[in-house]
Structures are given as structure tokens and as C-alpha cells.
Structure 1
Amino acid sequence: MPKISVIIPVYKVERYLDACVASVAGQTYADLEIILVDDGSPDNCPALCDAWAKKDARIKVIHRPNGGLSAARNSGLDIAVGEFIAFVDSDDRLEPDVLQKAWETKQKTNAELVIFNLVCTDTENCELLEPDYTVFPDEVIAPAEFWSRLFGLDGIGNYYVSAWNKLYPASMFSELRYAVGKRYEDMFILPGIIDQCKTIACMSYQGYRYTQRPGSIMNQGNPRNYLDHSEFLLEWTKYFTHKGDALRAEGLLNDAIANLAEKDRFDLSTPAQQQRYRTACRACADAYCNLAHRTGKRSMLLRAALLRLGLPAYRVFLQHKSA
């Protein structure tokens, strides 16, 4: 059985795919299973995947109808047999020794999760000076410290959040899967990952080369323009409420409410989107009700009741309160 299964979702990356797979196949840590998930790519990527499988016996290929990044990752997880899991996006590359270093860090620290650092590159694989990820040290932290560091960052939080710069035990995914059809899928799954950790090993080594390119999912506008943003904030609110961190939960909830109040941001042109919006608004009221029961604060019950009347009524309350 291979020690590490590396899952690479593939979609419309013909220009980048060979370099990506070569960077994984050429790792100094060779005990790998490499799973290429062709997510119904309409270009030459399916043929490139099959060609790689013929060249390297460690490579498996899944051809599936297009379902998005989460569905592709889940398909890879469904067949992975490695003891550990790593993800690589198919327009990115790995430094030749990053999996070796991540494995050695795992052995040294016995942390449940290992995070390796990244460097941003342009489409020609030239390193970019900004954003600067050299600020991350080698350290071993507890989940509480993980969240404190994440919430204290501005602009480079993907070091902690992204799926692709980490080495996971495969057992973490025994009941977890990525949210299909959602943007920011890494955000939705993150609490479930961190909840399984006692310690997290963070590496300063910039072993993941993250390509910044126009048209990628992460470059498609302001996150606050998508309902997925409010939805993951509500999921995180539930998580921190359950953990007893009412202050952080309320902060996340208020951010979700503020985002939903900017109704004109969202595409609500279909009944399905309108229903999603209404569901998220109701979830805000439910979240405040949950917090009230956890904290005993009656003022939170008032907020929940006003939210059930609708965001306009709640905003009037806030304006009156701050006057």
C-alpha cells in the first residue's frame, strides 16, 4: 500500500497539466499513489492523463462527468488507498522535496495535520514578491492557536485554509467530504478537519508553487458577492457555538448577517437562488437562538426574533441601538 495518495483534480488545464504531474511524479519521496481526476475536461486533458498513467504505474486516472472541484476531490478520496492524503491543483506545482519534508515533519512531531508553506507564481512559473508568505515559521500549534492565527491574518490566510498545502491522515476523510457545488469548499470542510487534531505542524518551507492566473475560481470576484460566503460563515458559527466560543461565533454570525443585508450583491434571478437566500436568513435567526440558549443572554433572543421578521427590521433595530 502506498504511503501517500496525491489527488489532482483536472479541468481545462492543458497548458499546465504536464508540469504539475511531473512535479508530483518526481518527488524525492516516491512511495506515492497519484490519482488524476479528469472532471469532464473538454480539452486534451483526458488524453494527457491517460498518457501519464501509461508512463508511471503509480498513476491512476478517473474520468468522470463535470461536477466541479469538490466532486473531483471526493472521487479521488473514494478510491485512495494511501495512509495519508495530499491534494494538488492541476495548474500548480510542487518543489521536488516537499512531500519528503512534510513526511519527516509528521514523523518528528506526530502532529495530526502538517501544513507546508507556499509561494505564488505567475503563469510562467516565476515567483511573485507579493503576497509574502515568508512570515510563517516552523511551529507546532494546538487547534485554538490555529484559529487565532487564521483570524489574525489579512490576505494570506489561505496558508491555513487551502486544501492543497497539507498532509492529512486518510482517516480524517472517513466521514468527511468536500461540499459539492460550493465555492470556498475548503472553508466548509475546515472545522471538520481541525476538530480531529490535537496538534498541527506548520512548516516555513515554501514547497507548494501556487499559480496565480486569470479565470481561476479564486480570481472570480469578491467572495461577498456569493451566497456561499454567508453559508460557510453560518457553518463556522455553528461550530464555534458548539465549542463554547460564543464571542467568535457571534462575530462570524454578525459578518454573515451584514453580508446578507447587502442583498443587491447576490444573483437572485432564479427561484433556487431566492430560496437559498431565504434559508440563509432564517439560519441567522436560528444561530442567534442557539447562542442565546448557550449563553443565557436574553438580548440574543430579541435579535433572533427580529431576524425572523426579516433583515430590514433587524437593520432598523441596529440603527436605533447605535443612535
Structure 2
Amino acid sequence: MPKISVIIPVYKVERYLDACVASVAGQTYADLEIILVDDGSPDNCPALCDAWAKKDARIKVIHRPNGGLSAARNSGLDVCTGDFIAFVDSDDQLEPQTLERALTAQQNTGADIVLFDYLCTDENDRPLQGQNPVGRPEETLTPPQFWQKYFTSGDACTYYVVAWNKLYKGGLFRTLRYAAGKRYEDMFLLPHLVAQCEKIACLNFRGYRYAQRAGSIMSQGDPRNYLDRSEYLLDWTACFAAKGDTLRAEGLLNDAIENLAEKDRFDLSTPAQQQRYRTACRACADAYRDLAHRTGQRSMLLRAALLRLSLPAYQAFLKHKA
């Protein structure tokens, strides 16, 4: 039977951790390797992790200095041995049949990634009213079809992006890791994962209980306020340009430019943040120059030159053009 490695990053979740680990250890599919990554948690989580390892031989514990969610996931990826990989956030839970149903779908379709739906709950595991729409259709998608679904799904795009509602073939992570120190780490990695896929299976089974609580990463404000958003949009621009979808690439690039133009949104109080902002602005100019070479459109070279001069100069050009 295939082994599934389940990687659970752990940080300041002692109220939720036992329920999370119990939901994974109690899966109807039992051939699991459960990796608890204590990311330098300052509460009782390290002891809780060790206690679980003593109770269940399938559980391994990694204690590491605090480095954030991406670094914790990467630590788990570095040691996991499963044929398939799943991620669970340590304040969330799986339904008992989730991994069995995901693996069955994988074996029936040959999918490289299987997505399952999720139920939004409050901190006490009660379903949130109005945040759990009618289930989506079950389907198996090619990468182009996957991206079409993503770009037309609006607010529902979370289903396609997040790390934790998926079962992955282990080989997808042979050379890939999450971007350490970044918000929206799922966004940075997604196009590189999908690029390796032939099939992606989408299930409507609500197999993941996603707790929305104050203080979680997902609750920390508008993504437009963080340079990470412009940076992942630039990364996506390069990915889509490289595979020949220059129209999509230009749209993503314009989204990045629009975000950077809202300069007052960002915390630029340190030299490092100021340098990040300047680097992102220069990357927009470089991306337009690359698109000009790929498409032969000379107007893109003008846009690149104006962006290299300054973002305000580019905005003035757009205003005059309109």
C-alpha cells in the first residue's frame, strides 16, 4: 500500500493541537507517516508533540528554531518518505475518510494532485454561516483547464491555491520547496507544482475543517498591503511567459504594477523594505522587456523603458494614453 506522509507545522496552537493530530492519526487510511514540525513554539506544543510520538509509532517529531510556516513545511519535506504528501495546519482537522478518499481518487484517475473541498469553521469547530457555498463539481483537469478554473473562480480560488486541501505525488517536491519568510507561500509554489502535472483531480468532498481564528496567518489583513503579493505576481508572470501564454503573463504583470503603484500601502520604514520595493519595480521593467522580445511588440519596450525610469513616469504615460 502507498504510504502518505502528513506534514503538520506546529506553532503556538496548544489549544488545537491534540484535536488536529487525533484527526490525522484516526484516518481510515492507516499507512501514514505523520511528521510534527515544532517550529520553536514557546508554549506547551513541544511537549504535546513528544507525547503523541510516544503514543503512535507513525508519528515523528522535528524540533527546530522558529523560522515560519514555509521553513517548517520544508523541514518536513526534507525527511518525509511517503509516496504521497499532504499538509495539515495544526489548528485544523481532517474528516476521518479524507486521505482514503483522496488516495482512491488518485488511483482511479492517475492524478498528480488531488484536491478536496473544505468546511470553514470558527475557533470552536462550528461551521461558519455563509462561508460554505454549495459544493463544486468533481472533475479531472489538465493544467490549462486547472488555470482556467482558477482565473474564473473569483473568491473561490482559495480551493485551487492552498497547500492543505491536497494530496500530492511525492515526486512533485523532489526539487521544490516553499519560499521561506514569505507570506502567501502557497502562491509562490503553485505554478511550479502545476507545471509538473498531467492531471489534477478535484473532489467536492469536504474533507478538511479549516478553522478561521484571530491571529492566524490568513487573518492578517489585505494581501495588497504586502510586497509578497507583487513578488508572487511577478513570479507567475515569468512562469506564464515561459510557457507561451504572454497574454496571461501581461495581465499578471499589470496586476503587480497596479499593486506597486499603491506605494502608501507598504511598510517601507527600513532600508531592506525600500530595497525590496525598488527591486520589484525594476523587475516589472525587466518583465515587460522580456514580453517585448517574446511577442515582438515594440510598445512593450516603451513600457519597459518608462518603468525603468520610474513608476510615476509610467503612470503618467498610462493616464495620458487613456
Structure 2 length as normaliser, TM-score?
Answer: 0.99
| Matching of residues 166-181 of structure 1 within 5 Å | 166-181=166-181
Equivalent residue of 1:120, what SS? Answer: strand
Cα distance between partner residues in 2 of 1:249 and 1:218? 26
Q: State the AA in 2 paired with 1:264.
A: D
- Structure 2: 5+ residue runs without aligned partners? none
Q: Indicate yes or no: 2:301 matched with 1:292.
A: no
Q: State the AA in 2 paired with 1:70.
A: S
Q: Is the CA contact 1:82–1:170 (under 8 Å) kept in the aligned structure 2? A: yes
Cα distance between partner residues in 1 of 2:261 and 2:131? 31
Q: Displacement of 1:243 after TM fit? A: 1.0
Aligned residue for 2:204?
Answer: 204
Cα distance between partner residues in 1 of 2:6 and 2:132? 26
Q: Displacement of 1:157 after TM fit? A: 1.0
Q: Displacement of 1:69 after TM fit? A: 0.1
Q: State the AA in 1 paired with 2:107.
A: Q
Cα distance between partner residues in 2 of 1:122 and 1:46? 25
Q: Displacement of 1:2 after TM fit? A: 6.3
Equivalent residue of 2:156, what SS? Answer: coil
Identity %, equivalent residues: 72
Cα distance between partner residues in 2 of 1:317 and 1:138? 46
Equivalent residue of 1:28, what SS? Answer: coil
Q: Is the CA contact 1:95–1:209 (under 8 Å) kept in the aligned structure 2? A: yes
Q: Is the CA contact 1:179–1:188 (under 8 Å) kept in the aligned structure 2? A: yes
The superposition leaves residues 240-259 of structure 1 with CA deviations (integer Å, 9 ceiling, x where unpaired) of 10111111111110010010
Equivalent residue of 1:38, what SS? Answer: strand
Question: What is the count of residue pairs matched by the alignment?
Answer: 322
Q: Indicate yes or no: 2:94 matched with 1:94.
A: yes
Cα distance between partner residues in 2 of 1:19 and 1:189? 28
Q: Indicate yes or no: 2:216 matched with 1:246.
A: no
Query: 4+ residue runs of structure 1 moved beyond 4 angstroms?
Result: none
Q: State the AA in 1 paired with 2:53.
A: A
The superposition leaves residues 244-280 of structure 1 with CA deviations (integer Å, 9 ceiling, x where unpaired) of 1111111110010010011000000111000000000
Aligned residue for 2:267?
Answer: 267
Cα distance between partner residues in 1 of 2:257 and 2:176? 27
Aligned residue for 1:158?
Answer: 158
Structure 1 length as normaliser, TM-score?
Answer: 0.98
Equivalent residue of 2:155, what SS? Answer: coil
Cα distance between partner residues in 1 of 2:209 and 2:177? 25
Aligned residue for 2:41?
Answer: 41
Q: Is the CA contact 1:134–1:204 (under 8 Å) kept in the aligned structure 2? A: no
CA RMSD of aligned residues (A): 0.9
| Matching of residues 52-63 of structure 1 within 5 Å | 52-63=52-63
Cα distance between partner residues in 2 of 1:2 and 1:56? 19
Cα distance between partner residues in 2 of 1:208 and 1:134? 15
Equivalent residue of 1:175, what SS? Answer: coil
Aligned residue for 1:218?
Answer: 218
Cα distance between partner residues in 1 of 2:241 and 2:165? 28
Q: Indicate yes or no: 2:18 matched with 1:18.
A: yes
Equivalent residue of 1:157, what SS? Answer: helix
Q: Indicate yes or no: 2:308 matched with 1:308.
A: yes
Q: Indicate yes or no: 2:256 matched with 1:256.
A: yes
Equivalent residue of 2:205, what SS? Answer: strand
Q: State the AA in 2 paired with 1:73.
A: R
Q: State the AA in 2 paired with 1:221.
A: G
Q: State the AA in 2 paired with 1:280.
A: A
Q: Displacement of 1:186 after TM fit? A: 0.1
